[in-house]
Amino acid sequence: MSKRIGAGRSMKTLLRAAKELTDKIWYDRHNSLAKKNEAGKKSVDPDIWKAAQLAAKKAEKKYGKENLGPWTDLEWGMLNGKLSALRWVLGNERDTLDT
C-alpha cells in the first residue's frame, strides 16, 4: 500500500502528477524555442536539439498532442501553480519551476 499524504492522495499519485505537469510545461517551452530556432532568433546545439525533438515526440505519444497546449495565460498559470504546490508538498525547498 502506498503512503498517503494529506487528505488521501498517495505519494505515487503526487509524483505522477508532478511528472505530468513538468512534461507539459517543458513541451510548451520546447515549442516556443522551436519557433525561435526556426525563425533564426535562437540557436540550439544540433545534438541537444535532436534529443529535445525525440523527447517532444515521446511526450506527444504519452499524453496526446491535443493535451499538450498551446495554453491560454490562465491555463499556463494553473499548470505552473499546480506544479509549484506539488513540489512544495513533496518537500522541495527551492521555489523554482525548472522543467
pLDDT band, very low/low/confident/very high, at 17 (cuts 50, 70, 90)? very high
Distances (CA, A) of 79 to 22, 47, 48, 51: 9, 29, 26, 24
**In this structure, are residues 23 and 62 in contact, taking their beta carbons and an 8 Å threshold?**
yes
* C-alpha 52 chain-centroid distance: 13
The residues spanned by each domain of the chain are 10-89
Please give the grid coordinates belonging to residue 51: 534529443
Residue 18 binned pLDDT confidence (cut-offs 50, 70, 90): very high
Mean pLDDT of the chain: 89
Tens of pLDDT, residue by residue over 20-61, are 999 999 999 999 999 998 888 988 899 999 999 999 999 999
As given in the structure block, the three cell numbers for residue 10 are 498517495
Q: Place 5 in a pLDDT band, splitting at 50, 70 and 90.
A: low
Task: Give the whole-angstrom CA distance, residue 72 versus residue 29.
Answer: 13
